[in-house]
Amino acid sequence: MKTITICSSALFYKHVMEIKEQLEARGFVVLVPKTALSMAKTGDFEVLQYKTWFGDANDYHKKADYMLSHFDEVTKGDAVLVVNDTKHGVAGYIGPNVLMEMALAFYQRKPIYILNGLPDDSPFEEELKGMMPVILKGDLAQIL
């Protein structure tokens, strides 16, 4: 059975949990960020209440923990699926955290799937394309 690690902006975690269910129904093992699991348990997908470091710089250890934890999930998975919906008016948004997770997967020679198209005018378009991702155009059935 193939294990897929989903990477995305926290703003998309509700959608991530829907995709997780769809992939599990197809027989995949699906790993998601631990904050997405916490949000799903409470039904509260309000991102800012989890990002406490914005109000208290002493909480950046939480951000570090979230990042390291998900790097571990990327390492455990056989492939990465990037859920890149629209954020800040940018269709196909991929932020710096997801870029780092993709880079880790790329370094580990894992397939990288991107749910939607690549963002227009991304400052790291060259790096995104250089990782040779499979662009799904919304079609999860293309994941092997």
CATH of the domain at 21: 3.40.50
What is this structure's pTM? 0.94
Amino acid 1: pLDDT: 63
Assign 41 a pLDDT band (cuts: 50, 70, 90). very high
How many domains, the chain? 1
Report which of residues 50 and 89 the model is more confident about.
89
Amino acid 57: pLDDT: 87
Considering the chain, what is the average pLDDT of its residues? 93
**Minimum mean pLDDT among 26-35, 51-60, 97-106: which range?**
51-60
Kindly report the three-state secondary structure assignment for every residue of the chain: CCEEEEEECHHHHHHHHHHHHHHHHCCCEEECCHHHHHHHHHCCCCHHHCCHHHCCHHHHHHHHHHHHHHHHHHHHCCEEEEECCCECCECCCCCHHHHHHHHHHHHCCCCEEECCCCCCCCCCHHHHHHCCCEECCCCHHHCC
Instruction: Determine the structural domain holding residue 77 and report its residue range.
Output: 3-142
Q: What is the pLDDT of residues 47-85, one digit of tens each?
A: 877 778 888 888 889 888 899 999 999 999 999 999 999
